Structure 1
């Protein structure tokens, strides 16, 4: 729902005076104390024993978390190798000259923090030679600045090793300066170095542990890790597989995001399910290779095409699931959301071609935004079908779970239009262009769907007065949150999908424009308030009561006001105890809240009852003094003109009878009944006259306990329906 604040480069210290803080390797320095907090447990794919088996059907909530892009200012402290967070810059503080793997090709600076860094001894290594100095400001105001010691060069391996000693916690901008660089013994000066690593205190230097123990612990509070920002989904221009970032890359990455292998490694290390966001412009070959990488692993550049005894980079570990989303918020035309324009261009290119699936029922050349809604569903379905070919039918909706993400609350009918189009096109075999060789239900294409689940208070966080803060928390979440959740749940369940929020959570003062009513520092005060814990728990209960089944919270770090770390006092290790994380601690061990959405059955649902939460598509004209809804004619195989989605709630699962009361039904009129996306049968209506209700015959269907959504739609005539009766 909300655009992210731009991850622009934070300002660093400029000018020659700043370099006076450098401690060159040749200058020596005092002894520093090693950090002792990093207690390591080898987090490998064998860590599946740690995994809490959880799903949407579990008694306890199923929770996700988004992670941000790695940077020197992200505050996650995620990687054991600090270079993964670091940025290379020239000695004049401009962009560094780098090779295809991100390694500097001339003398450079390596910015490794702009927040806080823990004291201790960090292990530095790189291929080539250089004089290395360190800069950083001691937080305690002392003169104990960081320095380099024990630098050695091995000419046989062209490897330089050294130690970065940080005697006491440093704050603000910190960097290493590399001068007199040579890539090899015979290389000229000022040619840079390669394979730079800077390992945190206490971690092995062979790469066997990639993620910090605290970050793993933070991720294990959740059940799903969503890597949208991690792979730069909003700005990722990748088309070909060769466009992607590989595991050979060092330092901060650009618009192509982190390597897929690193995201898979995080899922494996934590034993948590994975949510991926596929680049908007990725071609079919890219889709296939991505699916192969997840199933078989890779050699660091290309995926394997079959199982390997010892893959260089392992696939997703057995027992873990992968959620697959096309791009991110492709409805969002806000700044930084490049995917909207890319998807719109792709849709426009085929909008007038009636042999293309999105225009199968007529040209969309005059309505590019309808074309966009359908394109999002079309490409998302294509991704799903590609993963089906690579993983096999049995893995779909179990191991592989494609998701149709949309604008919250079916805003601008992005969700309903996508579902109606997909139901019409994929629901029938088509032997002439556009061809569809296999008829599929919506639930054969996607596992879940829905919009975001952000919420705020009706009282904006404008100041720190207790009256304002009390009113803010008393109004968190606003009533709109429940209504939007219900809308998404009704549309998704009505087509047989799980109701999923791709991201969401509280963001004090956040607005749809991303500007925010509250500045980040003020938002941080509200986030750090202990009342945030209680209100998040209450908001999650609202989400569950209105049919929500899986909420991915946004975001662990680096994006005020939505982040989960403490922005008032940035940590020196990954945060595991903020008020927001405390809410997650409580939610994950408690039971789900009851669902209250929908009319209790057995019972009768009057289609004009505002409390029934019915969602309609089409005109929905009223008749007979407001007694009934009119449904216009629909055509099987096309996007149906009108339908109603009716949420109902049963305490006990079992077989129920369904009938409708019609008014002035035409002779031979037919109305189809679908329950949770599956067609149950067709009512062949008895003609009635004089405005008197006429009961149809009964159709039987099985309901699970809890929420179900009934969908009714006409097949051959305009029909007036007053009630749905469930016995």
Structure 2
């Protein structure tokens, strides 16, 4: 591997530092809409030239599918607990291979308080607090003295230990009109009857009020009900696609292998620091089970550092992921995603975004590939590493698509398997350049890319702090219409590809520390008369 220059990394660190300093604490409620889904089967020009954008954008009626960015709510609240810490906090405790503590420990089971409840004041005149009160059923293997950081709000009763099953149960009641926060401590722990004290516990569960302690239901009723109107679910956030990928080229390359991924047997479905390299978020098995329960299509984001370049590497992360979605495993009952459901594929998320580690990981990987020689990224003599990076992002989606096609079989690509190419909306010429290169290097993009993604941001900056709601909405509409020129250019690209996916993202910034984020994806039905 070619050694990466320190200047490349230092420039990125400076850029990323500035970007993060500009950021405010945000919370996002993502809504994703796809309307008028069309396949990407029309041909691009096969000549070695840029796309001809002289024709006018297509037009048509909007109709089709609506989807949503995933949020997960388990019946067992412990499935999203935070990493176990020493009593009193400050550092993480040693754990077993599943993430359960090997010593006495404490953990945040849940914290549903509004941002930033821990750093008031909250910019909310109504001082809204979600209601998480009620009596929860606590279960775990082993013995422990159960405590809490906030004894006034949480009451622990009916604790009992069954030596035959090595199981402790207890009722944990969160009082009404109190913050939606639960931190539990486990002291005097004994993992099994024969273990010494201070050896931890395993298989921790906290079942929500209203569900039986022995329930096998994974997802809450209200979550399943909330998803019913939608046709597909995008899992970018819950799988933690924007994880810190590190620097490509460091020891281990920070490449994630399949055996390093998140597992359904993990103590938590959140990422853990210093745990397996690929434990970043929700295990893929839960995505399959949720989609099958709801009968919804899935939109999955492939980790930027996941292994797997060609279908021949059947042990790679990408190949095994495709196999899991097709065939399932023991945890899913050896059932994959239902055959009638579709899979939208995206390479990472916003790989162009300087504030995300996937940007620099992808760029360094592109530089290394070119340095190794015989790379397609510079097959036309281009010397700009930024161009190499943009090409690698598209090429990576192509590689992932071909692996999934191999696993699912001939005819699946563009039908069941739907790769979506996403780039920076404000640079439509870069879409053109990259897709032209893909066309000249790998053939017609419509044969392997199902669609394009566009981000269309607009905000309320043109409104005043005391404006009425309707005035704020008018200001947002005016700002949105200011981006029409770029939208029309991407429409022209869409007319050639016969597909585009809009992503509209209003950002509310004025007078609030939180910024609800809405994403809408609207592809037009293209006139190809």
Q: Which residue of 1 aligns with 2:284?
A: 260
Which whole-Å CA distance do the structure 1 matches of 2:23 and 2:227 have between them?
22
Q: Does 1:249 align with 2:266?
A: yes
Q: Which residue of 2 aligns with 1:376?
A: 393
Q: In the TM superposition, what is the alpha-carbon distance from 1:200 to its structure 2 partner?
A: 0.6
Q: Which residue of 1 aligns with 2:99?
A: 102
Q: In the TM superposition, what is the alpha-carbon distance from 1:214 to its structure 2 partner?
A: 1.3
The two structures have a TM-score, normalised by structure 2, of 0.75
Q: In the TM superposition, what is the alpha-carbon distance from 1:342 to its structure 2 partner?
A: 0.5
Q: In the TM superposition, what is the alpha-carbon distance from 1:271 to its structure 2 partner?
A: 2.0
Q: In the TM superposition, what is the alpha-carbon distance from 1:102 to its structure 2 partner?
A: 1.6
SS of the aligned residue for 2:103 comes to coil
Residues 56-114 of structure 1: CA deviation (Å, up to 9, x unaligned): 2696342222235xxxxxxx6x1111112221322121233122212112112221233
Q: In the TM superposition, what is the alpha-carbon distance from 1:208 to its structure 2 partner?
A: 2.4
Q: In the TM superposition, what is the alpha-carbon distance from 1:487 to its structure 2 partner?
A: 3.0
Residues 222-274 of structure 1: CA deviation (Å, up to 9, x unaligned): 22211112111111645211221111111232362211111222222222211
Q: Which residue of 2 aligns with 1:416?
A: 432
Q: Which residue of 1 aligns with 2:505?
A: 505
SS of the aligned residue for 1:388 comes to helix
Q: Which residue of 2 aligns with 1:92?
A: 88
Q: Which residue of 2 aligns with 1:348?
A: 367
Q: CA RMSD in A?
A: 3.1
Q: Which residue of 2 aligns with 1:357?
A: 376
SS of the aligned residue for 1:185 comes to coil
Q: Which residue of 2 aligns with 1:473?
A: 473
Which whole-Å CA distance do the structure 1 matches of 2:193 and 2:406 have between them?
50
Would you say the 8 A contact 2:26–2:513 is kept in 1? no
SS of the aligned residue for 1:187 comes to coil
Q: Which residue of 1 aligns with 2:196?
A: 188
Q: Does 1:339 align with 2:332?
A: no
1:80 pairs with one of 75, 79, 91: 75
Would you say the 8 A contact 1:54–1:223 is kept in 2? no
Q: Does 1:327 align with 2:348?
A: yes
SS of the aligned residue for 1:395 comes to coil
Residues 111 and 443 of structure 1: is their aligned pair in 2 closer, same or farther, counting only changes over 3 Å?
same
Q: Which sits farther off after the overlay, 88-97 or 182-191?
A: 88-97
Which whole-Å CA distance do the structure 2 matches of 1:466 and 1:388 have between them?
52
Would you say the 8 A contact 2:452–2:501 is kept in 1? yes
Would you say the 8 A contact 1:452–1:504 is kept in 2? yes
Which whole-Å CA distance do the structure 2 matches of 1:183 and 1:316 have between them?
37
Would you say the 8 A contact 2:133–2:180 is kept in 1? no
Q: Does 1:393 align with 2:414?
A: no
Residues 377 and 707 of structure 1: is their aligned pair in 2 closer, same or farther, counting only changes over 3 Å?
same
Would you say the 8 A contact 1:134–1:164 is kept in 2? no
Q: Which residue of 1 aligns with 2:119?
A: none
Q: In the TM superposition, what is the alpha-carbon distance from 1:360 to its structure 2 partner?
A: 2.6
Which whole-Å CA distance do the structure 1 matches of 2:325 and 2:333 have between them?
13
SS of the aligned residue for 1:466 comes to coil
Which whole-Å CA distance do the structure 1 matches of 2:215 and 2:317 have between them?
28
Q: Which residue of 2 aligns with 1:221?
A: 229
SS of the aligned residue for 2:330 comes to coil
Q: Which residue of 2 aligns with 1:453?
A: 456
Q: Does 1:487 align with 2:468?
A: no
Residues 453 and 298 of structure 1: is their aligned pair in 2 closer, same or farther, counting only changes over 3 Å?
farther
SS of the aligned residue for 2:326 comes to helix
Residues 128 and 487 of structure 1: is their aligned pair in 2 closer, same or farther, counting only changes over 3 Å?
farther
Residues 127 and 485 of structure 1: is their aligned pair in 2 closer, same or farther, counting only changes over 3 Å?
farther
Would you say the 8 A contact 2:460–2:507 is kept in 1? no
**Is the radius of gyration larger for structure 1 or structure 2?**
1
The two structures have a TM-score, normalised by structure 1, of 0.56
Residues 645-672 of structure 1: CA deviation (Å, up to 9, x unaligned): xxxxxxxxxxxxxxxxxxxxxxxxxxxx
SS of the aligned residue for 2:229 comes to coil
Q: In the TM superposition, what is the alpha-carbon distance from 1:312 to its structure 2 partner?
A: 3.1
Q: Does 1:294 align with 2:289?
A: no
Query: Comparing both structures, which one devotes a greater share of its residues to strand?
Result: 1
Which whole-Å CA distance do the structure 2 matches of 1:314 and 1:206 have between them?
23
Which whole-Å CA distance do the structure 2 matches of 1:267 and 1:236 have between them?
27
Q: How many residues align?
A: 439
Q: Does 1:240 align with 2:257?
A: yes
Unpaired stretches in structure 2, ≥5 consecutive residues: 1-18, 28-33, 39-60, 114-129, 246-254, 273-278, 309-315
Residues 446 and 224 of structure 1: is their aligned pair in 2 closer, same or farther, counting only changes over 3 Å?
same
Q: Which residue of 2 aligns with 1:26?
A: none
